[in-house]
Structure 1
Amino acid sequence: MGRREKPIDTRSGPVGAFAGDLRKLRAAAGNPSYRQMASAALYSPSVLSDAAGGHRLPTLPVALAFARACGGDPQEWEQRWREARGGGAPTEPLTPIGVDEMAAAEPGQPRPAQLPIGPHDFVGRMAEFDGARAAMVGIADSRVPVIVRGPVGIGKTTFALRFAHQLTAEFPDGQLFADMATRRADDTAPLEVITGFLHALGVPPDQVPDDDMHRIGLYRSMLAERRVIVLLDNVKDEPQVRPLLARSLNSQIVVTSRSRLLGLDGVRRITLGPLSRVESIDLLRLLIGSDRVRAEHAAGLRIAEFCGHLPLALTIAGRKIAAQPGRRLSEIAGRLADGVNVSNWLRIGDISLADVVLPAYLALPPLAKHVLHMLAGGADEVTPTTLARALHISIESAEYAMDSLIDGGLLHRVSTPDRYLMSPLIGQLVTQEADRFAIRRDQDQLHTDQLRAAIGFTEGGFTH
């Protein structure tokens, strides 16, 4: 049972009265815990508790999230919030709060808003959102950097953007964003990002320290003083992000990466997996239209299965199908079952699954590339022990190859210890794009047949 809330004097003014009304609403809803409310409100328990504390008026997004979590009417509570704020009845239709109505930074301080547009078509991930919020809180309520990781095409950036946009009301002093995939792979990359962040936060160019450590120190000091959310997208490895990390009471850092970044200390990790069948169908409904998917539910499931329940593949497929309103889903599913060129079919505009997989493949060490090719050839699972036996190498070397594939986002560990799987869709793409992926069987010193035999692969399937 949670701690009893401190009493508030509802006669002390509009802020106290508003907080008292929030508490009454929560009591009428059966007094759910703030942790339970957080799952529906998508704000942390501490933020919701503070909203009803009576110390200050919460921001409108927080107030509306509190009301929705307790079954309140959003329009009614926006009206109450504006009255408590002193705005009275609005002269125009009620709209969500704007940036100027949020708790503000000090007058004159820039408030950067660098986050890209968040995803419109998004489903599920509620457990992951809850996990990410819980992971933010560290020792003595300090905020801990959160790493969002998972294989290629799993929707890490989409998830992180959605998450970051949900947090903007809690971090009114600004939003900083950097796509680390566009940075040079050397030690200067994080320092260049820090310089850009300092400029965005209002530090004049002539006041940015030349000394690297002083520059990093100033950046971390500003995160400690202000309420800023920082999103570092597509991080390759630990050196690329380590100088940019900070533990702060006021600011929050979110990182996305295919790699687990196991070399980093003082962080929390959230791993994304494929969508469930229900979530995949929900996403197709958003993209294609509920009526089409409802009318051919079985065909929709077959399309989702072809996409491996990967959000990127589902999004590409859904948008492509939506652009063909006259085609039946069963016709499309049948064509996919008969065989298509994955690279061509899962491509729209400048978005392609192959263009995501190829850089991940090229960054692999030679042994990991060969194992990926072996898995794409039909073996859907492998263990370090069988791999070590086949190649006459140590188990440690085999594990290194497996770890390279995991951190490259092309393999994932299953619940059974030391067993690894690859998405069939990725395997099909690698097989079809063998020339583009520079895989040459006849020049490979490792023998695919030997490796297949070691894991029990035969023409008819698997022996174990």
Structure 2
Amino acid sequence: MTVEELVAAVVALAIVSAKRLGAGLADRAMESVEQSVADRLGWLYRWIAGRLPGEEGAALVEEAGRSPAARALLRRRLVRALGEDPAGVEELRVLLSPHTPVLAHSDSLLPESSGIPRQLPPAVADFTGRGQELVRLVEAAERPGGGRVCLVHGPGGIGKTSVVVQAAHELMPSFPDGQLFVDLNGAEERPAAVGDVLGDFLVALGVPRGRIPDDEAGRTRQFRTESADRRVLIVLDNAASEQQVGALTPGGSSCAVLITSRQVLATLAVDERVALPGLDEGTAWDLLRRIGGGDRVDEDPEAGRDVVRLCGGLPLALRIAGARLATFPARTVGSFARDLADDHRRLDVLSLGERSVRAVFLACYQALPSLQRCAFRLLSALDTPDLPAWALSPLLGVDPDTADECLEGLLLVHLVQARRGETGGQRIVLHDLTRGFSKERAAEQPADEADSAVRRLLGALLSAADAADAQLRP
């Protein structure tokens, strides 16, 4: 069966469940046959709802039972979701097989697992560069001694997941007992619940749902017991905190863990810590040509170089730029580069479909405490390449200790960067794309916020100049 046929079948059956026919069967069940049908319908409903984000899946299934248009929309959404998920397609084939046993426990209905999970998403076909980082991750994960934990951290859109998935595929032969993968939703308002993730991991490792403890601590202990004698690779993508990761780390010496996070996770004990930088100009050029088309980019190499420069080495920005060039072939590379050069439109241009540089920055910004959000907005008030770290105190109107703590918070989530100045002091640096986002956020605030901050900073600079003059000419 094709993906479209599989989706049509599962949608039809899920609608039966949504209309509560499955629940009626369960109420009347006198024999295991009717109960089995009810269980399967219920599992189908939960499976299809879980393939779509948030509460959208359940709501759309409910609506599909009443509206042919909603039914068609549901089929399209599922086909698109499964188009990038070969493992999900195979899971659906198994799900629709009449020979697949189903285990019921509480509100969860899941098929029995073979005990050897293969959960890695496909590697990126146009993966480019990152050779040194891949070598570090693979060598660390295969290092003798066991319990290898590797962290890849960096700002949103820098390509952390692509690097870790690429490394995981290279590591598959070294971990024959399976590969576990989960998106921990660390950039979202509600990160993934550790207990739920542990439950899914245990089911994937072959533990019957009825034998899984209800509490998180019990699930952690059982996960470590089940993984103790297996060679399993665990990929924890988009981690929110050290606590979230700690409960999902096996205690044995035969497994390895690859973690990605937008945060530094400074107190997490790791064997290899990789800070992912932006792409250098040569690698960025290669990536743009691979996605946008070599002939397409080469027709105006000067404009192509401008596109690379304006994307600032951010892989997400380069991928969106390349996709735009490939999607709209009638548009010249030069005209696209001119649109990208417009500071007021750059983040609008770097958006296509569900991918958006602005959305990545916004998720990180919204998770910040109010003082850090204010600091981030004010750092673009003076259009300079960088600022001395001490300037944050007068900009915010707070004492130096509070300003330093605020800066550390921004550095930990990679919204700003820091470099050492010529005189040894620390200087704050904003990426060009991040600077544009900072200006957008500042424009949403009352004008006097930035004006007052600049006046305070100018006052501090004048005071420093007076003090220096007094030292030079007492």
State yes or no: 1:388 paired with 2:396.
no
Q: Is the 8 A contact 1:341 1:432 kept in 2?
A: no
In structure 1, C-alpha distance between the alignment counterparts of 2:188 and 2:396, rounded to whole Å: 35
CA contact (8 A) 2:117 2:177 kept: yes
Aligned-pair CA distance for 1:441: 3.9
1:414 maps onto 2:422 in alignment: no
Matched residue, 2:100: none
Which amino acid is 1:308 matched to? G
Shift of 1:348: 1.1
Match of 2:358 in 1: 354
Query: In the alignment, what sits opposite 2:103?
Result: none
Partner in structure 1 of residue 169 of structure 2: 165
- 1:442 maps to which of 434, 438, 448: 448
SS at match of 1:291: helix
Whether 2:84 is the aligned partner of 1:116: answer no
Contact 2:416 2:431 in 1 (8 A): yes
Q: CA RMSD in A?
A: 2.7
- Report the residue type matching 2:128 in the other structure: V
Superposed, which structure 2 residues align to 1:294-373 within 5 Å?
294-373=298-377
Pairwise mapping of residues 222-237 of structure 1 onto structure 2 (< 5 A)? 222-237=226-241
1:423 match: 431
SS at match of 1:292: helix
TM alignment of 1:193-272, pairs within 5 A: 193-272=197-276
Q: CA deviation at 1:392?
A: 5.8
CA 225–351 in structure 1, closer or farther in 2 if over 3 Å, else same: same
Residues 337 and 219 of structure 1: CA distance in aligned 2, closer, same or farther (over 3 Å): same
Tell me, what secondary structure is at the counterpart of 1:254? strand
Relative to structure 1, the CA distance from residue 235 to residue 452 in structure 2 (aligned partners, 3 Å threshold; closer, same or farther) is farther
Identity of aligned residues (%): 32
Name the counterpart of 2:291. Answer: 287
Distance 1:444 1:204, change over 3 A: farther
CA contact (8 A) 1:146 1:267 kept: yes
SS at match of 2:277: coil
* Cα displacement string for residues 120-154 of structure 1 (whole angstroms, at most 9, x for unaligned residues): 1211001111222343366x621321111011211
**Structure 2 CA distance for partners of 1:190 and 1:254, relative to 1, 3 Å:** same
Q: Render the CA deviation track for 1:387-435: whole Å, top value 9, x for unaligned.
A: 2355564443222211211222311233556323111112113323556
> How much has 1:203 moved relative to structure 2?
0.4
Q: What SS does structure 1 have at the residue aligned with 2:193?
A: helix
Distance 1:183 1:324, change over 3 A: closer
Q: How much does 1:158 deviate?
A: 1.5
- Specify which of 144, 163, 176 is matched with residue 180 of structure 2: 176
SS at match of 2:414: coil
Contact residue 375 and residue 396 of structure 2 kept, 8 A: no
Contact 1:187–1:239 under 8 Å retained in 2: no
Question: Residues 134, 385 of structure 1: CA spacing in aligned structure 2 closer, same or farther, 3 A cutoff?
Answer: farther
Deviation digits for residues 239-298 of structure 1, max 9, x if unmatched? 222211235432211111111001212443111011000000000110111122233222
My pick for the range that moved more, 372-381 or 320-329, is 372-381
Return the offset for 1:210. Answer: 3.4
SS at match of 2:181: strand
Q: Measure how far apart 1:182 and its partner are.
A: 7.2
Instruction: Give the structure 1 partner of residue 11 of structure 2.
Output: none
In the aligned structure 2, how far is the partner of 1:184 from the partner of 1:335?
30
2:407 maps to 402
Name the CA distance, whole Å, in 1 between partners of 2:162 and 2:192. 27
Aligned residue for 2:128, secondary structure, equals coil
Asked whether the equivalents of residues 342 and 429 of structure 1 are also in contact (C-alpha less than 8 Å), the reply is: no
Q: From the superposition, tell whether residues 219 and 427 of structure 1 become closer, same or farther in structure 2 (CA, over 3 Å).
A: same
Distance 2:420 2:140 in 1: 22
1:374 Cα shift? Answer: 2.0
**2:432 alignment partner AA:** P
Amino acid at match of 1:144: R
| Letter aligned with residue 453 of structure 2 | H
2:123 partner letter: G
Say whether 1:127 aligns with 2:132. Answer: yes
Aligned mates of 1:388, 1:199 — CA distance in 2: 51
User: In the TM superposition, what whole-angstrom CA distance separates every residue of 1:61-117 from its partner, at most 9, and x where no partner exists?
Assistant: xxxxxxxxxxxxxxxxxxxxxxxxxxxxxxxxxxxxxxxxxxxxxxx9422122222
Cα distance in 2, alignment partners of residues 453 and 388 from structure 1: 12
